[in-house]
Amino acid sequence: MTKLRTPANPIHWLRIWKLYLRAFPPAERKPFGVIVKMHRSGKTDVWCVERDGRFAGFATTVNGEELILLDYLAIEKRSRGQGIGSAAMAAMHRIYADKGFFVEIESTGEDAANREAREKRKRFYEAAGMKALGVEADVFGVRMELLGSRCALDFEGYRAFYRDHYSPWAAQHLTQPGVM
């Protein structure tokens, strides 16, 4: 059985940090201390994803009053392909059922060396109930597209979410592709 739980001890945080470093390229990682600080302030939920009581991955969210950003989701390599990520997404949909829920993924519209992985990631989120919102953004130099559930979001609403729930500085570093 897959379940989500809040990290309860330093070992959980260590496992999350190690997987974070393995799972995300440097261009997509914020300093881990920022995640911890936001969690302590209540702006971010951090979840251990467990299967049968064993650490299998983690998820983090940035929490607004009406919207939740799934900031990171990573499943241990040995645990992939077993439905754990899908179960974690279903649990988050239940936890945040009264709010809009969205995620940023690397753009599938770009030619990239990892295009197949990007398209697979998009199919995963679509199978989990997320739909393309029609918004693309350059996030600190990485082209991203937004997928969401129970929400409508345009670029300005996306930037306002960052400003209000992450930081004004981060919001200033979101740009809309093709707009100067």
Q: What is the pLDDT of residue 66?
A: 96
Count CB atoms within 10 A of the CB of residue 51. 19
Asked if residues 174 and 69 have their Cβ atoms less than 8 Å apart, the reply is no
Which residues contact residue 157 at a Cβ distance below 8 angstroms, ignoring those fewer than 6 apart?
A: none
Q: What is the pLDDT of residue 166?
A: 86
pTM of the entire predicted model: 0.93
Distances (CA, A) of 165 to 42, 44, 153, 176, 179: 10, 9, 15, 19, 24
* Domains recognised in the chain with CATH numbers: 2-175 (3.40.630.30)
Q: What is the pLDDT of residue 170?
A: 87
In order, the DSSP letters of the chain are -EEEE---SHHHHHHHHHHHHHHS-GGGPPPHHHHHHHHHHTSEEEEEEEETTEEEEEEEEEE-SSEEEEEEEEE-GGGTTSSHHHHHHHHHHHHTTTSEEEEEEE-SSS--TTHHHHHHHHHHHHHTT-EEEEEEEEETTEEEEEEEES----HHHHHHHHHHHT-HHHHHTEE-TT--
111, two tokens:
């030619």
How confident is the chain (180 residues) per 10-residue block, as mean pLDDT? 91 96 91 94 96 96 97 95 96 96 90 85 96 92 92 95 92 81
Q: What is the pLDDT of residue 20?
A: 98
* Cα(80)–Cα(90) distance, integer angstroms: 16
Q: What is the pLDDT of residue 179?
A: 63
pLDDT tens for each residue of 92-143: 999 999 999 999 999 888 777 788 988 999 999 999 999 999 999 998 888 8
Q: What is the pLDDT of residue 76?
A: 97
Q: What is the pLDDT of residue 177?
A: 84
